[in-house]
A and B are shown apart, each in its own frame.
Chain A
Amino acid sequence: MINSSLRKLSAALAARKISATELATLFLDRIEKLNPGLNAYITLDRAKTLAQAQAADASGKVGAQDTPLAGIPLAHKDIFCTKGWRTSCGSRMLENFVAPYDAHVVEKLAAAGMVTLGKLNMDEFAMGSSNESSYFGPVKNPWDTARVPGGSSGGSAAAIAARLAPVATGTDTGGSIRQPAALCGLTGLKPTYGVVSRYGMIAFASSLDQAGPMAKSAEDCALLLNAMAGFDPRDSTSLERPAEDYARDLEQPLAGLRIGLPKEFFGAGMDADVRAVVDAALAEYRRLGATTVEVSLPNSGLSVPAYYVIAPAEASSNLSRFDGVRYGYRAPEYGDLNDMYSKSRAQGFGAEVKRRILIGTYVLSHGYYDAYYLKAQKIRRLIAADFQRAFENCDVIMGPTSPSVAFAFGAKSADPVQMYLSDIYTISTNLAGLPGMSLPCGFGAHDMPVGLQIIGSWFGEAKMLQAAHQYQKVTDWHTRMPENLK
C-alpha cells in the first residue's frame, strides 16, 4: 500500500478494500516509527488527521467520479496556511503560529477529499537548498541520512521517498520542488507561474513562488496538479484559464518529440556521475522516438546573480510583516519600539533569512535600485526571450536538475555562494515563469539518486508530464526506495 500510485489507492478505496481511516492510520503509524530519524514532519496531529479521514469515509466522495483523490492522505509543506494547524514556515518567528485560515491549495485538496497527515519541514521561509536552515533542524535524506535531502521542500521530498506520504505539496521559487525531488529520487513539478494560486502560501519571492505537486511518478503529479490548479480571485497573479486535465496526454507516444539540450547546461559545473546518468536517460528518450537538438540559452549564466537580486529584494519586503506586533515571535525584553523590532527579528529569524533580508534591503536602497534591481529585471526579460527562441526549435528542454547528487550535511552550509550554485539549472525557469519538473533517472556517486529536469514552454505541463510518464513506463527508477526503509 505504501508504494501504491494514486490510481491504485483510489481504486482500493473505491472497492472498499481499505478505508480512508485505515489508510491514514497506516501512514501515521509509519511516520511515528520512521520520522524521528528523518525529521520530515514537524507538526503532526493524529486526532485531526483521523477526523478528516473519517469525514472522507462518511462523505460519499470516495469512489466518486469527480473526486478521484478522496480518502487519499497527503502532507503539506509548512509554508501553506492550514486552519487549526501550526504553520511555522520552518521559522522560530512562526513557531507558535496557528493559521486561522486555509491556503487556496489546502482548501482545494480538502474539497477533493484528501486527508492531511501533517506539516512538513522546510528551509526557513523556503530559503535554502539543503534544509539546513530550518529552525526545527535539518531533514535527513532517506537514501543516506548523512546527506541533505535538498531544499527548500526537503521535508516533502524525504517524506515521499521514505513512503511517509503518498504525495505532498511543495513550493518552488528557484528550484525548491525540483532539486529536492532530484536529490531524493522523486518526481516533482513546478507549474507555469499563475497556474496555482499563491493565496495562503507564505510569500518568499512573490514573482517567482509557485506551488506544485511532489510524488513518486509523473502520473501522480498530474493527478495532484489537477486538484491544485485553478483560478483564484484572491490572487491577482492567478491566471483565469479553462480547467485542464494534466493527465490527458500521458499515454501518447513520444515519437517526433523534439528535445532541446541547452549547451550551457552540459558544460563545466556538472559532476561526471550526474552527466553519465543524464546522458543515459537522453539515450532512452531517443529510443522512445524522440529527437534531441542542441539549443542555446546564452543568458542562463546570469540567472543565479539576477535571482539573488530579485528574490531577496521581494523577500526583504515580504518578510517585513513579521515584526512582533500582531502575531509571531516577539522578544521577551526590549526597550523602545525600534528595539522591539530589531530584537524580535534578530531572534526570530535565522542566519540565511537575515542574510537575504540584508541583501534585498541593500539592492532596493536609494542609489542602488537601478544598478541592481532594475538591471536584474532586464536580465530576467532576456532569459525569458532566450527560452522563447529555444522553444521555436523544440517541444521540451532537458538537462540535469542539480549539478551533483545530494551532498553531506555541512558541505556547503559555510559558503552561501556554493549553496546558491546548486540551483544553477533550475533558477532560470522561475525567472521566465516557465514550468519545470524533475524525475529520477538513475543513481550517481554514493548510490544517490540523480534527477532529469524537463522544462516546458508556458502552459506545457501536460507535454512535460507525457514525456516523463512515457519514460517512467520503460524505466523503474521512480519505483525504487531506500533499502533500509522497506
Chain B
Amino acid sequence: MSQWEVVIGLETHAQLQTKSKIFSGSSIAFGAEPNLQANAVDIALPGVLPVLNREAVVCAIKFGLAIGASIAPRSVFARKNYFYPDLPKGYQISQFEIPVVQGGGLAIRVPQGDFLRGVGEQEKFVHLTRAHLEEDAGKSLHEDFHGRTGIDLNRAGTPLLEIVTEPDMRSSAEAVAYARALHALVQWIGICDGNMQEGSFRCDANVSVRPFGQKEFGTRREIKNLNSFRFMQQAIDYEVHWQINEIEEGRAIRQATVLFDPDTGETRAMRSKEDAHDYRYFPDPDLLPLEIDAAWIAEVKAGMPELPQAMQARFQADYGLSAYDAAIVTASRGMADYFVTAVAAAGTANAKTIANWIMGELAARLNRNDTSIEDSPIGATQLAGLVMRIADNTISNNIAKKVFEALWNGEGQSADEIIEKQGLKQITDTGAIDSIIAEVLAANPKSVEEYRAGKEKAFNALVGQAMKATKGKANPQQVNELLKKKLGG
C-alpha cells in the first residue's frame, strides 16, 4: 500500500441561489409538485430561446473573486449534446472552451491523526482549473410508474457552477477537507445554500493511483454524485484499495465512470470510456458571448462580504486569537457571524473567552445534537452574557457550565436570569466562607488529622467539601486561601 500514491481531483456542482433559472424565468425553489416549475423554455417547446440570467453571472464573479481566480472578460456558452429523457433540448447549455472563472485556488486544513479534535492539522493549497456556469437537467423518476419512467423538469435549467480542481489532492482526507472548505466558502459568499441532501452541492471525484516517484498519472476512474462528506471518504478509500488491488493482481485500470453504493460501501462501473458520449460541443448560437467588464466586477466586489482569510487576520490582530482559533471561528459563515455578534455584545476583551466557548462547549454540544450553529438554542448574545458573568467573577467556570446547560435547555432567557433564579451567584463574602469552612472542619476531623500528618490529598478533600457545601458557588481560590489559613498553614 505504501508504495502507491493517490491522486484525486474533484468536480463540484454548486446550485446557485438565484431567484429564477439560468435561462428562463421559472422559479428554482425546491420541492414543488413535478413539472409545475417548468415553463415553455424549460420543457424545450419548439421555437423557444434561452436568455441568460445575470444573477447567475454575479454568483460566478463572486466565486472567482473569493478564490483569487481570473474572471474571463469574454466567455462562451456551448452546447453539450446528448439524448436523455430528462434533458429536454437534447443538449445541455454549459461552458466548454472558455469558462467564466479560470485558475485560483483554496487553502485547506487537512486533519492529521485525530480528526474530531482537529489536532495536527496541515495547511495545503488546492489549485482550481476552472469554474463554469451551466444548467442542470431534470429528474427521471423510476419508482411508482409501474415499469415506466416519470420525468420531472422542475430542476431542468437550475443554475449550476461547476468547480473543477487540479489533481492536487493526495488522500481522501485531503479531498474531504477541500470539499468542506469549498462547501463553507460558497455559503460564506452566499451563492449556494450548501444543502447536500437536496443536491445543491454534489461532488464527483476523479481518482487514480501511481507508484510514488512516477511522473505520469495513473488511469483515473470518476466517482459520480457524492452527496455527503462521509460517502466521499468511504467511496474514495474503497476505490483506492480497489485500484491498487487490481494493479497488484496484474489487471490494468480502464477509464470509467463509477457510482458509490452507500449500502455496500463499494463503487461499481456505470460505463467505460469506450461507450462514453461524444458530446459534440459547439458554441450555442442562441446566446451571445458573456462579456464581463471591470466595472461589473468592481460592482460585485463592493457587495462581497469579508472573506474568511481577511477575517482571520483581523481576529488575530485585533482580538489576539491564535491562527488556529481564528481559523476555527471562521470555518463557516454561521460560525463567524455568531462569533462577531457575541464579541460585539461582550466586548473585545472577552473575544478569546468567547472563541474558547464556541470551540469547546458549544461545538461539542451542537455536534452531539447534530445541530448547526445557525439553529443553536443558545444565541450569540446569550453566550456573550454568560461570558461577561465569568469575566466579572459573578460565576466561576464550573458554574458557567451549569448556566450554559440551563440556557441550552431553555430554562431562562439570559445567563443573568438563570443565575438569579437558581441562586448561582458566586459567594465572595469572606465571613460567609469562613463560617462554612468552620463547619466543614468540625464535620471532618479525620481529614484534618490526615492533613496535619502531611497528607496533601486530605486538603483537596476539604476544599471539595467546602465547595459542595456552597453548591459550588464559593470562589474556589478564596476557599483555598481561607482554608490554608485556618489550618495554620
A317 / chain B contacts, CB cutoff of 8 Å: 79, 81, 90-91, 280, 282
Among B40, B46, B50, the residue within 8 A (CB) of A202 is: B46
Which interface class (under 10, 10 to 19, 20 to 34, 35 or more) fits A?
35 or more
Q: Which of B301-352 contact A (CB under 8 A)?
A: none
A278 CB to nearest chain B CB (Å) = 33
CB-based contact B49/A323 at 8 Å: no
Among A94, A337, A366, the residue within 8 A (CB) of B46 is: A94
Q: Which of A54-95 contact B (CB under 8 A)?
A: 80-81, 87, 89, 94
CB-based contact A101/B45 at 8 Å: yes
CB-based contact A320/B278 at 8 Å: no
CB-based contact B47/A202 at 8 Å: yes
B362 CB to nearest chain A CB (Å) = 50
A97 / chain B contacts, CB cutoff of 8 Å: 46
B46 / chain A contacts, CB cutoff of 8 Å: 81, 87, 89, 94, 97, 99, 202-203, 321-322
B280 / chain A contacts, CB cutoff of 8 Å: 316-317, 361, 364-366, 369
B44 / chain A contacts, CB cutoff of 8 Å: 321, 326
A408 CB to nearest chain B CB (Å) = 33
CB-based contact B48/A337 at 8 Å: no
CB-based contact B83/A323 at 8 Å: yes
B134 CB to nearest chain A CB (Å) = 16
Q: Which of B144-170 contact A (CB under 8 A)?
A: 151
Among A99, A201, A325, the residue within 8 A (CB) of B85 is: A325
Nearest CB to that of A325 among chain B residues?
Answer: B85
CB-based contact B51/A234 at 8 Å: yes
Bound-state CA distance A316–B278 (Å) is: 14
Among B40, B48, B51, B89, the residue within 8 A (CB) of A320 is: B89
CB-based contact A233/B51 at 8 Å: yes
Among A99, A234, A366, A373, the residue within 8 A (CB) of B49 is: A234
A341 / chain B contacts, CB cutoff of 8 Å: 83
Among B47, B83, B282, B285, the residue within 8 A (CB) of A103 is: B47
**What 0/1 readout, one digit per residue, does chain B (87-119) give for beta carbons within 8 Å of chain A?**
011110000000000000000000000000000
CB-based contact A369/B45 at 8 Å: no
Bound-state CA distance A327–B278 (Å) is: 26
Q: Which of B262-297 contact A (CB under 8 A)?
A: 278, 280-282, 285-288
Q: In this assembly, does B355 line the interface, its C-beta being within 8 Å of a C-beta of chain A?
A: no
Q: In this assembly, does A190 line the interface, its C-beta being within 8 Å of a C-beta of chain B?
A: no
Q: A234-B51, A236-B50, A323-B83 are in contact. Are A100 and B45 (CB under 8 A)?
A: yes
Nearest CB to that of B23 among chain A residues?
Answer: A236
CB-based contact B90/A321 at 8 Å: yes
Bound-state CA distance A207–B81 (Å) is: 17
Q: A320-B83, A341-B83 are in contact. Are A199 and B47 (CB under 8 A)?
A: yes
Q: A100-B40, A320-B90, A364-B81 are in contact. Are A199 and B282 (CB under 8 A)?
A: no
Bound-state CA distance A316–B48 (Å) is: 16
A291 / chain B contacts, CB cutoff of 8 Å: none
Write the residues of chain B forming the contact surface with A, with a CB cutoff of 8 angstroms: 40, 43-52, 79, 81, 83, 85, 88-91, 151, 278, 280-282, 285-288
Between A and B, 25 residue pairs with Cβ closer than 8 Å are A80-B47, A81-B45, A99-B46, A100-B45, A198-B49, A199-B47, A203-B46, A203-B47, A206-B286, A207-B285, A236-B50, A236-B51, A236-B52, A237-B288, A316-B280, A317-B81, A319-B90, A320-B83, A323-B90, A325-B85, A326-B88, A326-B151, A364-B280, A364-B281, A369-B280
Write the residues of chain A forming the contact surface with B, with a CB cutoff of 8 angstroms: 80-81, 87, 89, 94, 97, 99-101, 103, 198-203, 205-207, 233-237, 313-314, 316-317, 319-323, 325-327, 337, 341, 361, 364-366, 369, 373
Kindly list 19 other residue pairs between chains A and B, CB separation below 8 angstroms, not including A99-B45, A101-B45.
A99-B47, A198-B47, A200-B47, A202-B47, A233-B51, A316-B81, A317-B79, A317-B90, A320-B91, A321-B46, A321-B89, A322-B46, A325-B88, A326-B88, A364-B281, A364-B282, A369-B280, A369-B282, A373-B282
